[in-house]
Structure 1
Amino acid sequence: MFLSSCRLAGITACLALLPPGSAWAQSAPEPEPAPAPPPADVSAEDLADIEKALGQEAAEAARTSGTTPSPPSASPTSSSGILLSPSNINFRGLELSFILDAAAAAFTAEKPLQSGGHDPTANGFNLQQLELSVHTAVDPYFQFTGNIVFSQFGVEVEEAYASTSALPASLQLRAGQFLTRFGRLNPTHPHSWDFVDQPFALGRMFGGEGNRGLGVEGSWLTPLPWYVEVIGSVTDASGESTARSFLGSGGGGVSSPLDFQFTGAVKQFFPLSDDLSLIWGLSAADGPTPSGYRNRADVFGTDVYLKYRPLSGGSTTLVTLQGELFYRRRQVPQDVLSDVNGYAQALWRFSQRWALAARYEFGSPARGLGGAVADDPLDPEWTDSRERLSANVTFWPTEFSRLRLQAATDNARWREQRDYSVFLALEVVMGAHGAHAF
């Protein structure tokens, strides 16, 4: 019954449908009851007088008790249809949020090997991004989601798509520009990451902005006894915002179906116990490359996410383990190159406001059919293996802000010495923002 009603909105949304006593359900505060609407025969002038009287009574009570009255909050029944608060910006059903990510950085290398489009890349202050997120229900059949990113040098439409909300048989479609659901980290945004920067494995496979493009995606929540979601998408393989392994900016348009990128994924969720759960995914992508006529590239990946969170005793402890492994094969003139990249990370949130995390990354040089290191047109410098180790400590002043101190050592073996980096990052969030993936 649960699987048939789960609408493919994602694991977090599915878990929200479970009864409070279920082993899969996540602990969350009970929602406050919505305020009752004013009687129909009360005029706007009467409401203003009532609110003024209530304010005077609150001020009088504060004077007698020695406390400071709280400022009145915006009413969800405002005649303007506008609701403004730190946790909600709502204009007549249009939910907005603003997310600022900025960091101070120090590098020992003159040319840091950062691969993410939102990574700190220079000594001094870095504006990683200001993201405007928009979400609304269009009608009973479609929802609209948009993510617009502002930087010091321009504005970028990162995602803009419509998704269905009323298809039968646990099916869902979305169309527009979106991050493909390849692996675990690619479809997410920087503010949901456990680290300030992107793993270089993801940047090497898919570029600084991840694997995204214009197209259409379908997903199906299977009726199996455990959570299994099957996803497939067809997107453009050309343009600046597409996968690095495929056509990218070297594309010449679409002349046949073979000029598209095809992506597939399977997501599975296993509740191992009341406190322990596991997500395991498999992904694959295929598309054309600019290295020659009808040359193709294939990327295969697997991802795992293990989460431990005690539900009893009011504990705030959280332990997560996450990892992804990528294998890529691509055709070049008179050869086929392959390389392997990946990362593994652990996070321990030992109190409500503090957490520690560590991450290990690795990557191999491209090798030809004979197994020897080959000249790689994508990474001419990458002639040996690379490893990077990062660690950070995170502090949440509130649920709307986050401070993070992160340090890393980067061992690119084709360089003469290791590179070191330190980041101090600030993130603030204002407005209604959708739940992150479980």
Structure 2
Amino acid sequence: MSTVSRRPSDALIVVSVVTLLSTASAAAQEPSPPAEATPPAAEAGTPGEAPPAELSPEELEEIQKALGSDTQEAQQNAPSGTASAPQSTPGGNTLAVPGLNTSGTNFLDLSLVLDVAAAAFTAKEPLQTGGHDPTRNGFNLQQLELSIGSVVDPYFRFDANIVFAQFGVEIEEAYGTTLALPANLQVRAGQFLTRFGRLNATHPHAWDFVDQPFAVGRVFGGEGNRGLGTEVSWLTPLPWYVELIGSATDAVGEGTARSFLGASDERVLSPLDLQLTGVVKQFFPLSDNLSLLWGLSAATGPNPTGHRNRTDVYGTDVYLRYRPITEASTTLVTFQAEGFYRRRQVPGDVLTDFNAYAQAAWRFSQRWATAVRYELGTPAKGEGGATVVDPLDPDWTEDRQRVSANVTFWPTEFSRLRLQGATDRVGWQQSPEYSVFLALELVTGAHGAHAF
């Protein structure tokens, strides 16, 4: 059996062996040409040079051992401070630099989510409040969402959601999250959806319905409550799951801070000009198959109706989930409800209103599910309890109730079809409104599971 000397004077032999290995590897990866197309030996290499001999597996093993020993000796004998070339890992897609505990590579999770819908309304001007809702007869592009996520280093993670519409591009979220704070603390900074309630912090592809409940749009805006700022969350050491969350964000944005400064051009002059949000989340495993999530939320911030006039929003949410895990079953039953009580100071009065929705969803097979939702919104009332004209919604002088129902089909986990119908009983209109949606969703790329 042939062996290879590892003396420094044999460098030429090592180079020749590497060349032979490269040639053998390339030959193994490329398809062999037909027999009649094989060039003569004299044309395959340098004139007068014999073709390379085939190496046995034993010889290849000895050569690899020799190359590994040469590399190790070179690193040991290298002068201090000399940088070594990065070494490839066996997987071939990361680089490990000697002396550093990092791969040198950030892996991005990228995904695209397309939501389109065909819609039919009986009303000429549908009263949809969501920024991604179908709003006209015919075809609607609800959104094309690009989701980006990556662990930056041992201390931070980066996430972003960029939404493409027919007439522009919007940075919906872009924030960093800490990964290594002590005492069960975590901090987010950037632009993000606040964690008020349950639905506000989610995106349309995580919803059980095509459109957003009008309670969220009426109180916070069509895009859901979000802003530039920072958030601190703390997982308490109590015997049951309790998470405390506090955030401070900009109170400006017609579609994101409607009850606060909204579309005004007010500037931040003090901490009182920010929206402050506080949330308590509690989780209770009622049994192996049944669990409950209950939350309390509050938000306060300035509104543009007068000097130091403020808006306060209080909410509660509940999420009940039944999924048998003690037996083989695809059944999933959920119940979700949220209520929003809003109090706004205006010149000479204080306006209050209440908005809520409740929904139930039943996934009765791997590919099929159905859901029903009820929504309620009351008119604004003054301090005396009488109905008054709301500057934000001057037409909203009576109760509004909407009932929606749908059926959903998943061809695979990457696509979804949903047929939805609704009747909207608008108290200040003479007749109810009706709507029908047929929505298609397509997902491609890496997209993580949504929070429970």
Normalised by the size of structure 1, how large is the TM-score? 0.81
Q: Residue in 2 aligned with 1:270?
A: 284
1:109 counterpart letter in structure 2: A
SS of alignment partner, residue 173 of structure 1: strand
1:377 counterpart letter in structure 2: P
Is the CA contact 1:96–1:135 (under 8 Å) kept in the aligned structure 2?
A: yes
| Distance in 1 separating the partners of 2:317 and 2:106 | 39
Task: Determine whether 1:429 maps to 2:436.
Answer: no
Is the CA contact 1:356–1:392 (under 8 Å) kept in the aligned structure 2?
A: yes
| Distance in 2 separating the partners of 1:49 and 1:214 | 56
Q: Residue in 1 aligned with 2:217?
A: 203
Provide, for residues 30-56 of structure 1, a one-character-per-residue CA deviation record: whole Å limited to 9, x for no partner.
xxxxxxxxxx99977766655667xxx
| Distance in 2 separating the partners of 1:246 and 1:130 | 28
1:29-428 equivalences in 2 (<5 Å) = 77=91, 93-428=107-442
Is the CA contact 2:222–2:256 (under 8 Å) kept in the aligned structure 1?
A: no
Is the CA contact 1:237–1:251 (under 8 Å) kept in the aligned structure 2?
A: no
Is the CA contact 2:311–2:342 (under 8 Å) kept in the aligned structure 1?
A: yes
| Distance in 2 separating the partners of 1:335 and 1:174 | 37
SS of alignment partner, residue 135 of structure 1: strand
Q: Residue in 2 aligned with 1:72?
A: none
Provide, for residues 74-94 of structure 1, a one-character-per-residue CA deviation record: whole Å limited to 9, x for no partner.
xx945599xxxxxxxxx9501
SS of alignment partner, residue 355 of structure 1: strand
| Distance in 1 separating the partners of 2:23 and 2:388 | 78
SS of alignment partner, residue 267 of structure 1: strand
Shift of 1:252: 1.2
| Distance in 1 separating the partners of 2:333 and 2:168 | 38
Q: Residue in 2 aligned with 1:57?
A: none
| Distance in 1 separating the partners of 2:228 and 2:399 | 34
| Distance in 1 separating the partners of 2:238 and 2:91 | 43
SS of alignment partner, residue 367 of structure 1: coil
| Distance in 2 separating the partners of 1:343 and 1:42 | 72
2:416 counterpart letter in structure 1: R
Between the aligned residues of both structures, percent identity stands at: 71
Shift of 1:139: 1.1
Q: Residue in 2 aligned with 1:37?
A: none
Shift of 1:215: 0.3
SS of alignment partner, residue 238 of structure 1: coil
Structure 1 residue runs without a partner (length 5+): 1-39, 54-75, 82-90
Shift of 1:434: 2.0
1:217 counterpart letter in structure 2: E
- Evaluate the alpha carbon distance shift between residue 293 and residue 404 of structure 1 in structure 2; reply closer, same or farther with a 3 A threshold: same
Is the CA contact 2:106–2:152 (under 8 Å) kept in the aligned structure 1?
A: no
Structure 2 residue runs without a partner (length 5+): 1-17, 32-89, 96-104
Is the CA contact 1:237–1:246 (under 8 Å) kept in the aligned structure 2?
A: yes
| Distance in 1 separating the partners of 2:191 and 2:304 | 22
- Evaluate the alpha carbon distance shift between residue 105 and residue 78 of structure 1 in structure 2; reply closer, same or farther with a 3 A threshold: farther
- Select the structure with the greater relative contact order (CA < 8 A; seq sep ≥ 6): 1
Is the CA contact 2:221–2:254 (under 8 Å) kept in the aligned structure 1?
A: no
| Distance in 2 separating the partners of 1:317 and 1:41 | 60
| Distance in 2 separating the partners of 1:249 and 1:140 | 39
| Distance in 1 separating the partners of 2:21 and 2:265 | 62
- Evaluate the alpha carbon distance shift between residue 293 and residue 97 of structure 1 in structure 2; reply closer, same or farther with a 3 A threshold: same
Stretches of 4+ aligned residues off by more than 4 angstroms: 40-53, 78-81
